[in-house]
Amino acid sequence: MQSAAARAPAPIRRLYRQHGQLLHLNGDAFVAKMKALQGHVVLINKWASWCAPCRREFTLLRRAAARYGDRVAFLGLNAADKAQNARRFLKTNPTIYPHVQDPDEQIAGAFQAGGVFPQTILVDATGDVTAIKAGEFTTDRQVDQFLRPHLTQNR
């Protein structure tokens, strides 16, 4: 059975080649990464290794990426965290998608997603934020209900 990452369109496959990595991108590099994903829905999950709700929801998002990763680009946003702690967490909790380090929450702030952990941001195929969920997903069904209305937007 082919993985979601292998079935994904080329821009999402390119993103997933960096799976499990903690990327250090400045604002311009992050904008370029998002532009490369235009035409596709992007789910950005803001998390930190010290955040218990983030750690609990991580498994749900890993499963969601396995289910939807061929139609939605998943991207982690590790905020207000130390890089070594985030890397240690990612080593024991691998994902098919990469994570961007955002120690000062500058990227999260640009999405109006500062402060609360975890937060999940949904960006539509045109690059507009269409949904933000503050707080933890506790069931696969909640993640599905958050994503499904936006799945027809990919070009």
pLDDT tens-digit series, residues 9-55 = 999 999 999 999 999 998 889 999 999 999 999 999 999 999 999 99
Question: Following DSSP, what letter does each residue of 57-98 receive, concatenated?
Answer: HHHHHHHHHHHHTTTEEEEEEEESS-HHHHHHHHHHS--SS-
Q: What pLDDT score was predicted for residue 135?
A: 97
Quote the tokens at residue 140: 């696969």
Q: What pLDDT score was predicted for residue 155?
A: 47
pLDDT tens-digit series, residues 98-131 = 999 999 999 999 999 888 999 999 999 999 999 9
Nearest CA among 136, 140, 101, 138 for reference residue 120: 136
Q: Domain 21-149 falls in which CATH fold?
A: Glutaredoxin (3.40.30)
Q: For residue 41, what are the contacts with CB-CB under 8 A and spacing of at least 6?
A: 71, 72, 73, 122, 123, 124, 125, 147, 150, 151, 153, 154
Residue 84 has pLDDT above 70, yes or no: yes
Q: What pLDDT score was predicted for residue 2?
A: 53
Residue 1 has pLDDT above 50, yes or no: no
Contact 155, 76 (CB under 8 A): no
Q: What pLDDT score was predicted for residue 5?
A: 76
Q: What pLDDT score was predicted for residue 154?
A: 53
Taking the model in full, what pTM does it have?
0.93
Q: What pLDDT score was predicted for residue 152?
A: 74
Q: What pLDDT score was predicted for residue 115?
A: 86
Residue 142: enclosing H or E segment and its boundaries?
A: helix 140-147
Nearest CA among 37, 41, 39 for reference residue 18: 37
Contact 137, 146 (CB under 8 A): yes
Q: For residue 77, what are the contacts with CB-CB under 8 A and spacing of at least 6?
A: 44, 45, 46, 47, 99, 100, 102, 107, 108, 121
